Amino acid sequence: MMTLYFSPGACSLASHIGLEEAGAPYELKPILLAKGQQRTEDYLKINPRGKVPALSVDGKILVENTAILTYLGRRFPEKRLMPMDPAEEARCIGTMCWFSSVVHPSYQRFHRPERFAESEAAHAGVKENGRKLFWANLQEIDSMMQANDWVMGPEFTAVDPYALVFYGWGERSGFPMKELSAYTAWQERMMKRPTVKKSVESEQKTAT
Ligand SMILES: N[C@@H](CCC(=O)N[C@@H](CS)C(=O)NCC(=O)O)C(=O)O
């Protein structure tokens, strides 16, 4: 049995959708970031870094969306979450690494400037820098979707659930997401997938 530790609306949504797409049984354990549950003694035993997602697979803990989604792709090859061709697989992993190491931190700068500068006087500057960087990253994701239905090309891959996280954060934070026409059309396509709809609705119902 697999158990996903997640927080509603956090980047763990990517792994949550990945599990739905994999079609294997799993259970959900909410770790409410708004209540600081990522820092409880019990959760720090699961992920000592105090972050979601974490996926327990028969007692072994996997962390990082890129790793979890790659694992699901390899474990359930028939679901075609990751391409079989090694170079295409590497392209997917490369894009998820960019999401994790560039796109996500740009949002954090905007959302949590205090984590990047101790001096309060510097927070407004860090926030503004994060806003610009995050918006530029959203525009780059939009450009990746101009030619195809899905992020990596004509086929849905594990990269798609990850890209949905940033669309949601953009909307929630008041970015003009509708200006990104390809990203917006893709988001509507994503929401028509039963797996995506189910994961998003189940997170919305989880009390925060
Ligand atoms: N690169 C990691 C990022 C994990 C991460 O930063 N998760 C955030 C939620 S989006 C978190 O748990 N934050 C809690 C905290 O920093 O206290 C991944 O993709 O899994």
pLDDT digits (tens, 9 = 90+) for 99-112: 999 999 999 999 99
Ligand 1 surroundings by CB, under 6 angstroms: 10-11, 33, 38, 50-53, 64-65, 100, 104
Ligand 1 center to residue 24 CA distance, Å? 24
Ligand 1 center to residue 7 CA distance, Å? 10
Mutual orientation of helices 123-144 and 159-172 as an angle, nearest 10°? 130
- For the domain that residue 163 is a member of, what is the CATH number? 1.20.1050.10
Is the same domain home to 98 and 179? yes
Protein residue with its CA nearest to atom 20 in ligand 1: 64
Would you give the distance in Å from CA 37 to the centre of its chain? Answer: 19
Is the same domain home to 124 and 29? no
Peptide bond into 86 cis (omega under 30): no
- Tell which one of 38, 51, 63 to mutate to probe ligand 1, the residue whose CB is within 8 A of the most ligand atoms: 51
Q: What integer pLDDT is reported at residue 208 of this predicted model?
A: 65
Q: Tell me the β-bridge partners of 56.
A: 3, 61
Is the same domain home to 115 and 163? yes
Indicate the number of domains in the chain: 2
Is the same domain home to 147 and 134? yes
Ligand 1 center to residue 12 CA distance, Å? 8
Q: What integer pLDDT is reported at residue 207 of this predicted model?
A: 72
Is the same domain home to 67 and 136? no
Q: What integer pLDDT is reported at residue 109 of this predicted model?
A: 96
Is the same domain home to 119 and 173? yes
Query: What domain range is 130 assigned to?
Result: 86-193
- For the domain that residue 73 is a member of, what is the CATH number? 3.40.30.10
At 134-160, the pLDDT tens digits run 999 999 999 999 999 999 999 999 999
Protein residue with its CA nearest to atom 12 in ligand 1: 51
Q: What integer pLDDT is reported at residue 21 of this predicted model?
A: 98
Tell me how far apart the alpha carbons of residues 83 and 157 are, in angstroms, rounded to a whole number: 8
DSSP symbol at 153: B
Ligand 1 center to residue 100 CA distance, Å? 9
Q: What integer pLDDT is reported at residue 198 of this predicted model?
A: 97
Q: 5, 47 in Cβ contact below 8 A?
A: yes
Instruction: Name the stretches of the chain with pLDDT < 50.
Output: none
Is the same domain home to 11 and 45? yes
* pTM for the structure as a whole: 0.97
Residue closest to 169 by CA, chosen among 134, 117, 202, 199: 134
Atom of ligand 1 nearest to the CA of 53: 20
Q: What integer pLDDT is reported at residue 180 of this predicted model?
A: 98
Atom of ligand 1 nearest to the CA of 11: 10
Is the same domain home to 60 and 122? no
Ligand 1 center to residue 52 CA distance, Å? 5
